Amino acid sequence: MNDITSKILQIGQQAKDAAKLLAKTSTDTKNKALLSMAEHIKNNKQSILDANNTDIENGSKKGLSDSFIDRLKLDSERIDGIINTLKEIASFKDPVGKILDSWSRPNGLQISRVSTPLGVIGIIYESRPNVTADAGALCLKSGNASILRGGTDSFYSSLAIHECLVLGLKDAGISEHAIQIVSNTDREVVKLMLNGLDKSIDVIVPRGGKSLVSMVETEAKVPVFGHLEGICHIYVDEEANSEKALNVCLNAKMRRPGICGAVETILIHQSIASEFVPTLCNALSAQACEIRGCSNTQKISTIVVAANEEDWSTEYLLPIVSIKIVKDIEEAIQHIEDFSTGHTESIITESLNHASIFQKSLDSAIVMHNASTQFADGGEFGLGGEIGIATGKFHARGPVGVDQLTSFKYLVNGDGHTRP
């Protein structure tokens, strides 16, 4: 056994031991730790920014894209967002120990279904340093120990934030092993985590690009909460309010083009295309967005370049959008079913009937009406941040917050009962 393997297995065992204690830790103690973490991040804001500047400088030298740098970048406002998220998570009801259901049997047995922590959660992420705080805090509130493995690009930022989390744990008398970060950037660490660290890890959550998530989902030997890509769609219906549609489409694409909730394909009903397409394309172009479209879209706007078949299945994560004109809502739904990755879809319409058809027909994790796909975020859902977005159909789906980080067990109480 080499040094890397020995060290990471030790981290796994420490997390497993910490998880046993966390399952019995009081709500007040967990909240004390979270609020203390927020205070330490506030007091160490400048050192976190300095660490982040080092990561950004290194990323720029490596030639990372602007959208990647945006995901990596921290500023005073974003750190304040981390602080507020920690405080918000502290204000939540404790998801552990909730009686989800209870009933009595004719023989007198009393049965209840009670929420429990999952155990140890491994989080493997790339460029977003705020994941360090979000994931650690959400796991703590839900009674889970966490093992964080950030990417090399956010290395120094993540370490600086983690130091504040550990200080908060210590202030509350919680083991520092409750939230551990792997400081070794060797890829061997990831493989060991995906193997479960000798049955120490109960769930893996990947946060990053397609290649990372695909690798995790393919190689993991423990359950995975994740989504492969965020190919999100907006359908602008014939009954859409044009002003709402324009504002939503612009926000969904250009607010932050590099996040998984950014829209990648906009579908437009043919009856409004002649008026809406030029307005939308001019507005997108004014914000330096490249527009790729079907042949009918090109006939309406000369600034549109031809889209090929690959565009409909591409997560750009850049100021690029594809536009297709469709004959009706059924064609829009069919296109989404053909190319969606199950993340987020939205319909812009004043017709409640059309909205209902759209929302009932599509089986993505999040289906919206008259709202930007960039609301696909745990914080915006009131979940206090998220550990990730899950597009699978088992256990957790959509933004994964504190409630989704629990399981349950049955408590059965009798009085000397024996089964006949």
The pLDDT, as a whole number, for residue 298 is 97
Specify burial of residue 225 (Cβ count, 10 A radius: 0-12, 13-18, 19+). buried
pLDDT bucket at 384, cuts 50 / 70 / 90: low
CA distance 75 to 80: 9
Segment 228-249 mean pLDDT: 94
- Percent of the chain at pLDDT above 90? 79
pTM of the predicted model as reported, rounded to 2 decimal places:
0.82
Nearest to 263 by CA among 297, 235, 239, 238: 235
Q: List, for residues 255-287, the tens digit of each pLDDT value.
A: 999 888 999 999 999 999 999 999 999 999 999
Q: How confident is the prediction for the chain on average, in pLDDT?
A: 93
Q: What are the boundaries of each domain within the chain? A: 3-225+400-413, 232-375
Tokens standing for 352? 């409640």
The pLDDT, as a whole number, for residue 228 is 65
Backbone angles phi, psi at 399, to 5 degrees: -60, 130
Q: List, for residues 303-313, the tens digit of each pLDDT value.
A: 999 999 999 99
Length reported for the chain: 420
Q: List, for residues 76-130, the tens digit of each pLDDT value.
A: 999 999 999 999 999 999 999 999 999 999 999 999 999 999 999 999 988 789 9
Q: What 3 state SS string does the chain have?
A: CCHHHHHHHHHHHHHHHHHHHHCCCCHHHHHHHHHHHHHHHHHCHHHHHHHHHHHHHHHHHCCCCHHHHHHHCCCHHHHHHHHHHHHHHHHCCCCCCCEEEEEECCCCCEEEEEEEECCEEEEEECCCCHHHHHHHHHHHHCCCEEEEECCHHHHHHHHHHHHHHHHHHHHCCCCHHHEEECCCCCHHHHHHHHCCCCCCCCEEEEECCHHHHHHHHHHCCCCECCCCCCCEEEEECCCCCHHHHHHHHHHHHHCCCCCCCCEEEEEEEHHHHHHHHHHHHHHHHHCCCEEEECHHHHHHCCCCEECCHHHHHCCCCCCEEEEEEECCHHHHHHHHHHHCCCCEEEEECCCHHHHHHHHHHCCCCEEEECCCHHHCCCCCCCCCCCCCEECCCCCCCEECCCHHHEEEEEEEECCCCCCC
* Backbone torsion region of residue 216, taken as left when φ is above 0, otherwise alpha when ψ lies between -120 and 50, otherwise beta: alpha
Q: List, for residues 174-229, the tens digit of each pLDDT value.
A: 999 999 999 887 888 889 999 999 999 999 999 877 788 888 888 999 998 876 67
* Backbone torsion region of residue 246, taken as left when φ is above 0, otherwise alpha when ψ lies between -120 and 50, otherwise beta: alpha
Question: What is the side-by-side order of every strand in the sheet holding 99-104?
Answer: 99-104, 110-117, 406-413
Fold of 3-225+400-413: Aldehyde Dehydrogenase; Chain A, domain 1 (3.40.605)
- Percent of the chain at pLDDT above 70? 99
Map tokens 């190689």 to a residue: 219
Rounded to a whole number, what is the largest CA-CA distance in the chain? 81
The pLDDT, as a whole number, for residue 391 is 77
The pLDDT, as a whole number, for residue 322 is 98
Instruction: Indicate the pairing of strand 290-293 with strand 320-326.
Output: parallel
CA distance 146 to 137: 9
The pLDDT, as a whole number, for residue 36 is 98
Segment 389-409 mean pLDDT: 85
Neighbours of 103 (CB within 10 A): 9
The pLDDT, as a whole number, for residue 394 is 76
Q: List, for residues 148-174, the tens digit of each pLDDT value.
A: 999 889 999 999 999 999 999 999 999
Fold of 232-375: Aldehyde Dehydrogenase; Chain A, domain 2 (3.40.309)
